[in-house]
Structure 1
């Protein structure tokens, strides 16, 4: 099995809290950044999705914090989609420090929204598979 998609991020000082740790809300920003980078690499830009009248939506997110992150640290943020049946799919993400220590695990449930009808589409993998130039990056 190949390595999951990942992006590198450097923790910026203004993202930290009074204790010097990465602010808890910023973990969500890092996860969102990695998800959009994966979608873009697969050919699913916001313009492509909007032209089709669809968009990904996050329905649930869980973060398990393991180790603090400090300003200046470089991390890898992975992203992998897990497809099943039905209207939703899972997104598994891990934020790992340069020394290999896991800082956080982020698990989400997402879907693909029909922007006109404001309803989840019945088979998100079919939509992404049809529109993606590189569906294999999405596990399709």
Structure 2
């Protein structure tokens, strides 16, 4: 498995009735929460829980996020949310997410892209309250499974 493949991570969740808006589909803000959930689970799986990071004086912060909506989601459906991290030599890095419907409300397996989220992230030094240089190196030094972070930047 290549490092790029190892960096992709996914979680599965059910769409809940209280996430609906007045039009009967998932509220736009919930897509951001789905992406956040996938990000946090991706970090936890790599050994970068909030507690582990704080023990090294670090935290991960969201700098910006954009969601592109492709298809409506409704209560009772099941979605997979994947995440992939990409580092450069700069302080910010990105996490991309695809939210895919995998089971419709009738219980039928499907595969449909519902949304894509692009997030710009940074690693914050808790002491200085500044973004750290070389976030890949800082995160991989703490991670118990650094392969989930993907390849080092070129």
TM range (shorter): over 0.9
Partner of 1:129: 140
Superposed, which structure 2 residues align to 1:1-140 within 5 Å?
1=2, 2=5, 4-98=8-102, 99-140=110-151
How many residues of Structure 1 are paired with residues of Structure 2 in the alignment? 140
- The normalised TM-score by structure 2 is 0.88
Root-mean-square deviation (Å): 1.0
Task: For residues 96-122 of structure 1, give each alpha carbon's deviation from its aligned partner in whole angstroms, at most 9, with x where no partner exists.
Answer: 011111000000111100111110001
Alignment gaps of 5+ in structure 2: 103-109
Determine helix, strand or coil for the equivalent of 2:76.
coil
Alignment gaps of 5+ in structure 1: none
CA separation in 2, counterparts of 1:38 and 1:119? 23
- The normalised TM-score by structure 1 is 0.97
Determine helix, strand or coil for the equivalent of 2:67.
strand
Task: For residues 43-95 of structure 1, give each alpha carbon's deviation from its aligned partner in whole angstroms, at most 9, with x where no partner exists.
Answer: 11111111111100111111000000000100000001001111011111000
Determine helix, strand or coil for the equivalent of 1:100.
strand
